[in-house]
Structure 1
Amino acid sequence: MNRHDTFSSGRALYLHVAGHSEKGRLRDHNADAFALYDLSDPRQAEQLGRLYLLADGTGSDDGGVVASHIAIETIPSVYYSHNDGVGPLSRLQQAFSDAHNRIHEFAVLHPEHAEMATTCTAVVVRGMRMWIAHIGDSRAYLVHAVSQARPTIARLTTDHSMAASQVRAGELSPEEMRHSPGRDIFLRALGKSEENNPFPDFTMREVRPGDVIVLCSDGLWSALIEDQIAHIVSTRPSQQACEELVRLANEVGGDENISVIILSFSQIYHDSEGVHIQSR
């Protein structure tokens, strides 16, 4: 669990970050991976932002494990490799491209892992903005707790799977997609093949106090409805919410690896008594 403060234009946000992952009660290994990338140099963090990412690997045997870990190791390394004025979007594009190439190269050298690939959803937070890069069917949600009784939730990413494409075409309902075999057929992923489209989707948006960003693998979103996710993250501290979400998803499903990252933004304010963090 990491805690960070971010600053922009005289305003300040307190960013509380937590994550949790389990293999699922019906699985024997965990091909999910996540990283909460902490920078020791605050000036570098102000210039380049802080990076958080989650990957869900797929492939025979341990190929998915290898693929997700290549992504988790490559993307931060490339993103922070130099400080030349290049913005977060270009850095994320290069980092995802390099991760795709490295996974594909590994698969070529190890034919037993020819089908290895991974999803990846990454968030960069810099000041009052965030950038999301996304490929595959892991998800990013925005939860905003206007009140604990009525939190709102919105999906910020699009699933790149055959089943999701069928939902968009009206051939499947969202509920049917949860159990469709087409959910495991990726139209876009990192590393699957040279023909597979490796280009992620990108989103940039402002963040505000009370925003909560949830990154999760399909083992979580396929087991829980969105209102459950919104209620839990808006009524519990971030780390407790992560563990509760994974526990519930494991009880309901458990046939998939389950991973989640929560980024919770709170207002910092000053008065005569000092610095305070406004709880959500």
Structure 2
Amino acid sequence: MQCMSCGASILADDKFCEECGTPLTVSKPSTVVNGCEKCGAEIAAIDAEGYCSQCGFRQEPRQRNWLEVIINSQLAGVSDRGLKHHRNEDFLALQQLHGTQSNILIVCDGVSSSQKPDLAAQAAAESTCLALVAAGERGENPDSAIKSAFITALASVCNITYISGINLEPPSTTIVAAVVQEGIATIGWLGDSRAYWISAHSCQQLTQDNSWLTEVVAAGEMTEIEARKSRKAHAITRWLGADAVEDAVPSIVNFTIPSSGYLILCSDGLWNYTLDASHLANLVQRSPNTDAIAISRTLVEFARQSGGHDNITVAVLCV
């Protein structure tokens, strides 16, 4: 079955679409103030963290729907709920080490099928950022710093309380993080949140998705065109979560920055609407200004205008 509003797959006994929140039954939700805005449960059903005990939905703080982080004109990012989701399950963290040219960028995309994906994304992004800042102040090698930071992030995600049971996934999130210093970007990731390099002379995707599509194409089992037609095309194969503890070592790439340009980290809420890195480069060129926040806003607005079916997060470093 498919949701009549957004086209997402649904089960016969679902009461609400997990993608856009559209009611799938004829019953009308309660109008009780501060109750669950998704299923209409009374306020008593809402726990201390804002989660509904009836349907599991968490009422989203308004400030989380559109989140901007501006470090300076060179480093900034935006996270937006999009147009279809009831809440923003993405998060980002940015930091520039004092007295240095070292920059840290992190984008996390909570796994929607898991419990409390919004908390997972926030916990992972914030704990990774703190760990990378501490490692940078110690002068630690960026490769080892990212690996250690991901271990810290995994622990923070695993510490989120959740309900154990059949068909109940623990809190989970994808993550992509970059440490940029001395002209080299060290990038680590798990899942399908991506990093790109965009400049006047070149544009390229720096990460390779940990996804079913990528793996079957790499194995020669299907062409990319064939794999994209499968319902499993967007299924991720690696992530941060209690059910992926043994596979939480990130893929890492070191990219020597060749010239002036932009390092862009983003969730699939943006790149799903782009054709390739050159398409992303064209979008960057449309920005009314060349500072990081203007480019971030331009890319987020493009995704919204393209449909905004997912949460959208973009982090930009102008080099």
Normalised by the shorter chain, which TM-score bucket?
Answer: 0.7 to 0.9
CA apart distance, 1:54: 0.5
> 1:209 Cα shift?
3.0
- CA distance 1:115–1:175, shift in 2 (3 Å): farther
Residue 316 (structure 2) pairs with residue 262 (structure 1): yes
The Cα of 1:156 is off from its aligned counterpart by 0.6
- 2:210 matches 1:210: no
Query: Does the CA-based 8 Å contact 1:104-1:194 persist in structure 2?
Result: no
Q: Distance in 2 between matches of 1:57 and 1:174?
A: 25
Residue 32 in structure 1 maps to residue 93 in structure 2: no
Tell me: CA distance 1:80–1:247, structure 2 relative to 1, closer, same or farther (3 Å).
closer
More helix by share: 1
SS across alignment from 1:181: coil
C-alpha distance in structure 2 between counterparts of 1:253 and 1:22, whole Å: 13
Q: What letter matches 1:65 in structure 2?
A: D
1:69 aligns to 2:122 (yes or no): yes
Equivalent residue number for residue 17 of structure 1 = 75
* 1:250 paired residue number: 304
- TM-score of the aligned structures, taking structure 1 as reference length: 0.77
Once the two structures are superposed, residues 207-241 of structure 1 have per-residue CA deviations (whole angstroms, 9 ceiling, x without a partner) of 24322111111111111222321112245323232
**Does residue 78 of structure 1 match 2:136?**
no
1: CA distance between counterparts of 2:265 and 2:138?
A: 29
Q: Equivalents in 2 of 1:120, 1:240: separation in Å?
A: 23
Partner of 1:149: none
> How much is the aligned-residue C-alpha RMSD, in angstroms?
2.4
SS at match of 2:253: strand
Partner of 1:145: 200
Contact 2:115–2:169 (CA<8 Å) still a contact in 1? no
Secondary structure of the structure 1 residue equivalent to 2:243: coil
CA contact (8 A) 1:212 1:233 kept: no
Write the letter of the residue equivalent to 2:294: Q
| 1:277 alignment partner in structure 2 | none
Q: How many residues align?
A: 243
Instruction: Give the residue type in structure 2 aligned to 1:219.
Output: G
For residue 160 of structure 1, the aligned residue among 210, 214, 220 is: 210
Equivalent residues of 1:32, 1:65 under 8 A apart:
yes
Q: Which has the higher strand share?
A: 1
Q: Which runs of 5+ in 1 are unaligned?
A: 5-15, 147-151, 266-280
Return closer, same or farther for 1:258/1:116 CA change in 2, 3 Å cut-off. same
Give the structure 1 partner of residue 280 of structure 2.
229
Contact kept in structure 1, 2:81 and 2:311, CA below 8 Å: yes
- Whether the 8 Å contact between 2:163 and 2:170 is mirrored in structure 1 is no
2:158 to 82, 104, 119: 104
The structure whose RCO (Cα within 8 Å, separation 6+) is larger is 1
Taking the aligned partners of 1:200 and 1:86, their CA distance within structure 2 comes to 17
Q: Percent identity?
A: 28
Give the drift of 1:195: 5.2
| Conserved 8 A contact 1:102-1:191 | no
Cα 1:20–1:111 change in 2 (3 A) is same
Distance 2:223 2:304 in 1: 23
Secondary structure of the residue that 1:223 maps to in structure 2?
Answer: coil
Query: Judging changes above 3 Å, is the alpha-carbon distance between structure 1 residues 52 and 195 closer, same or farther for their aligned structure 2 residues?
Result: closer
**Structural mapping, 1:43-54, within 5 Å:** 45=100, 49-54=102-107
Structure whose CA Rg is larger: 2
SS in 1 for 2:240: coil
When residues 171 and 247 of structure 1 are mapped into structure 2, their CA distance, relative to the original with a 3 A threshold, is farther
Q: Give distance in 1, aligned partners of 2:75 and 2:229.
A: 31
Q: Which amino acid aligns with 2:103?
A: R
User: Following the alignment from structure 1 to structure 2, what is the Cα–Cα distance between the partners of residues 175 and 19?
Assistant: 32
Unaligned runs of 5+ in 2: 1-69
